Amino acid sequence: MDEILTRNFCIIAHVDHGKTTLSDRLLEHTNTVEQRVLTDQHLDAMDLEKERGITIKSHPVTMHYRAKDGRTYKLNLMDTPGHVDFSYEVSRSLAACEGAVLLIDAAQGVEAQTVANAHLATGQNLKVIPVINKIDLPSANLDLCLQQLEDILFIPHDEAILASGKSGIGIQDILEAVVTRIPPPRWRDHKGTRALVFDSLYDSYRGVITYARVFSGALRAGDGMTLMSTGQKAEIKEVGIFTPKMVKIDMLGEGDVGYVVSNIKDTSDIKIGDTITLTRQPATEMLPGYKEVRPMVFCGLYPLESNDYEKLKAALGRLRLNDAAFQYQSESSIALGFGFRCGFLGLLHMEIIQERIRREHDVEIISTYPSVVYHVKAHGLPEIDVDNPVLLPDPGTIEYIAEPTIRASILIPNTSMGDILSLIMEKRGVIDHTDTLDANRVMLTAILPLNEILVDFNDRLKSVTHGYGSMDYELGEYKADDLVKMDILINGEPVDAFSSIVHRSKAEGKGRELCEKLAEIIPPQMFRVAIQAAIGGKIIARENVREMRKDVTAKCYGGDITRKRKLLEKQKEGKKKMKQIGKVSIPPDAFIQVLKN
């Protein structure tokens, strides 16, 4: 076979270690994007991603680089999502590469995500090029970083490239290493065409745009294609590459990374990790590693104003077009009316979608308590998946409830050991093993219930380690435990939106906490309101909401009528923003506030 001068690689790093800055620098050095266009970080497109400093969507870019050996190489830089919620997407982007540039911030050293990413990359048999980045920083500690490279990641320190994305040091060295150390495209010898789907995007003019990496064979406009996971067939309308703009080309050949536009209309038909083959000459086997992505976290989303229902529905539909991992279906709640049950990959994914509904679609929403997916078995019935506590079978009939667990890598300073151990214990976790990283830091591997880390684990980790702790996780097994449904009653009425599944040992504490918080958040009412937590019929905690005493118009002495009216109107407006549950007015963010510690 001819030698192909193509190299496919990605940059992996802990958040903030300089991936975006370095990517821009590589584009600039290869004249892919003119310098003056590069005012902003190019690969992170969405505002929200920028604000949070994370990348969610992968945007590949094709660059041309004239190497020291005199030949011009085609370099495809893949971007990987930077958050654990998206680890399957990361693994598919990595599978589309032969090598990875692993960034380590010279002042921070190795972090939890660095280790997790390095493992993912070696797990995909990628060649890892270690880069110590930000060496321009006065606080850079090169010796320590090189030592950690050997001790923690088992990479010889002499393989490391010293660089600074900011001042441009080492950029050429990185490009040379990509060309000389990363092998040319793999899996070319398969008979038949195989291309890996690693992402997709919805374009309102052109429909679904699939991002693909061709391993063997070729894709051209006019070809009939088959998606191997489902056997669905379609016609290819256009193929092209990203420069980073989309540019149409004649053919995507072996080793190429680009996009495919077909007559497929629905994003959910394009599954990440799927294999595209040609219909007339199909491949016999899919590319390895395909998995059906299932949402891990669910919550109900309801419009604050019930006449925004259609607007919310349209917003969810549009978000779903671009995000096959996000799911929703209609549901109704006694407390909140008509809304939607939504499924997300993780808590960050959930927050992002909620934020986009508010910002980009201008719909005020209420979210219910998030829930993981439980496996529940009741007498005489097959095991079912339950993602909404309201749907649990009658407690008397339940044989077991099993919950998902995670395997977490938690990196902390030695000095926080005691605090972290008690945090892990509080969250019902067990330590699997402990590794000493250097004189100051340890890496704990712990098994924890996913449910326990959903709401505040990361914040608590950051707070007890004064910001130095970091965590990454992968999903583990399901484990049965003593789990029960806890209801919250307001004025004697259960509010389904506040129901949750909790461990029995924690029910009372959590019930009390929820009641206290609600009692604080719910404004004084005209009459006394009881807030109670209950398991089955048994009340386990109780608080009262204060009674309203003050008449807002009292201080007007009945004199100035316009002022009085204004005040009353203001009060009415204030009321309008409340959600009416029975006779009780609840602020819309009550549900979010009780979730936060």
- Binding-site residue total for ligand GDP (CB under 6 A)? 16
* C-alpha closest to that of 174 among 67, 72, 92, 288: 67
Which span (11-19, 26-34, 356-364, 461-469) binds ligand GDP, by CB under 6 A? 11-19
Interacting residues with ligand GDP between 166 and 195 (CB under 6 A): 166
Q: Work out whether 535 is an interface residue with ligand GDP (CB under 6 A).
A: no
Q: What is the DSSP string of 329-395?
A: EEEEETTTEEEEEEEESSHHHHHHHHHHHHHHS---EEE---EEPEEEEETTS--EEE-SGGGPPPG
Supply 250's token pair: 């004649």
Which span (161-169, 318-326, 349-357, 387-395) binds ligand GDP, by CB under 6 A? 161-169
Backbone dihedral region for residue 315 (phi beyond 0: left; psi -120 to 50: alpha; all else: beta)? alpha
Q: Angle at CA 185, nearest 5°, toward 155 and 180?
A: 50
Residue 32 marked as a ligand binder: no
- CB 165 to ligand GDP: min, Å: 4
Residue 39 marked as a ligand binder: no
What character string, x for contact with ligand GDP (CB under 6 A) and - otherwise, covers 25-64?
A: ----------------------------x-----------
Options 136, 351, 364, 516; binder of ligand GDP; rule CB under 6 A: 136
- Give the residue with the Cβ less far from ligand GDP, 18 or 339: 18
Options 8, 20, 113, 210; binder of ligand GDP; rule CB under 6 A: 20
Q: How far apart are CA 175 and CA 32, in angstroms?
A: 13
**Alpha-carbon torsion, ordered 510, 511, 516, 517, to 10 deg:** 60
Residue 16 marked as a ligand binder: yes
376: which strand partners? Answer: 384, 401
Give the strand pairing for 127-133 and 161-162.
Answer: parallel
- Give the residue with the Cβ less far from ligand GDP, 26 or 444: 26
- Give the residue with the Cβ less far from ligand GDP, 148 or 368: 148
- Give the residue with the Cβ less far from ligand GDP, 15 or 480: 15
Residue 487 to residues 67, 193, 427: CA-CA distances in angstroms? 65, 55, 21
Options 93, 133, 148, 226; binder of ligand GDP; rule CB under 6 A: 133
- Give the residue with the Cβ less far from ligand GDP, 22 or 486: 22
- Residue length of the chain: 597
- Give the residue with the Cβ less far from ligand GDP, 114 or 275: 114
Residue 433 three-state SS: strand
Q: How far apart are CA 547 and CA 563, in angstroms?
A: 25
Residue 418 marked as a ligand binder: no
Residue 18 marked as a ligand binder: yes
Options 6, 9, 12, 18; binder of ligand GDP; rule CB under 6 A: 18
Options 4, 45, 137, 592; binder of ligand GDP; rule CB under 6 A: 137
- CB 121 to ligand GDP: min, Å: 16
- Give the residue with the Cβ less far from ligand GDP, 21 or 332: 21
209: which strand partners? Answer: 201, 261
Residue 503 marked as a ligand binder: no
* C-alpha closest to that of 46 among 340, 323, 259: 323
* Whether 251 contacts 212, CB under 8 Å: no
* C-alpha closest to that of 276 among 355, 213, 333, 342: 213
- CB 20 to ligand GDP: min, Å: 3
Which span (14-22, 89-97, 329-337, 391-399) binds ligand GDP, by CB under 6 A? 14-22
Residue 134 marked as a ligand binder: yes
- CB 45 to ligand GDP: min, Å: 13
Options 81, 99, 109, 165; binder of ligand GDP; rule CB under 6 A: 165
Residue 390 corresponds to which amino acid?
Answer: V
- Give the residue with the Cβ less far from ligand GDP, 172 or 279: 172
- CB 344 to ligand GDP: min, Å: 22
* Whether 58 contacts 78, CB under 8 Å: yes
Q: How far apart are CA 479 and CA 488, in angstroms?
A: 26
* C-alpha closest to that of 510 among 471, 586, 455, 460: 455
Options 58, 164, 200, 451; binder of ligand GDP; rule CB under 6 A: 164
* C-alpha closest to that of 412 among 170, 112, 178, 195: 112
- CB 44 to ligand GDP: min, Å: 7
Residue 521 corresponds to which amino acid?
Answer: I
Options 9, 12, 19, 56; binder of ligand GDP; rule CB under 6 A: 19
- CB 134 to ligand GDP: min, Å: 4
Residue 191 marked as a ligand binder: no
Which span (133-141, 265-273, 294-302, 364-372) binds ligand GDP, by CB under 6 A? 133-141
**Alpha-carbon torsion, ordered 457, 463, 464, 466, to 10 deg:** 140
- For the chain, how many helices (H) and strands (E)? 14, 33
Q: Work out whether 200 is an interface residue with ligand GDP (CB under 6 A).
A: no
Q: Work out whether 134 is an interface residue with ligand GDP (CB under 6 A).
A: yes
Per DSSP, helices labelled H in 385-530 are 417-426, 450-453, 457-464, 504-521
Options 6, 10, 12, 13; binder of ligand GDP; rule CB under 6 A: 13
- CB 16 to ligand GDP: min, Å: 4
* C-alpha closest to that of 371 among 395, 388, 354: 388
Residue 19 marked as a ligand binder: yes
- Give the residue with the Cβ less far from ligand GDP, 21 or 122: 21
* C-alpha closest to that of 133 among 9, 21, 10: 21
- Give the residue with the Cβ less far from ligand GDP, 21 or 525: 21
- CB 596 to ligand GDP: min, Å: 25
Supply 409's token pair: 């890598």
- Give the residue with the Cβ less far from ligand GDP, 173 or 481: 173
Options 15, 246, 293, 455; binder of ligand GDP; rule CB under 6 A: 15
Q: Angle at CA 198, nearest 5°, toward 194 and 204?
A: 110
- CB 226 to ligand GDP: min, Å: 37
Residue 285 three-state SS: coil
Annotated binding site for GTP: 16-21, 133-136
Instruction: Could you list the residues known to form a binding site, using ranges.
Output: 16-21, 133-136
Chain residues that interact with ligand GDP, rule: CB under 6 A: 13, 15-21, 53, 133-134, 136-137, 164-166
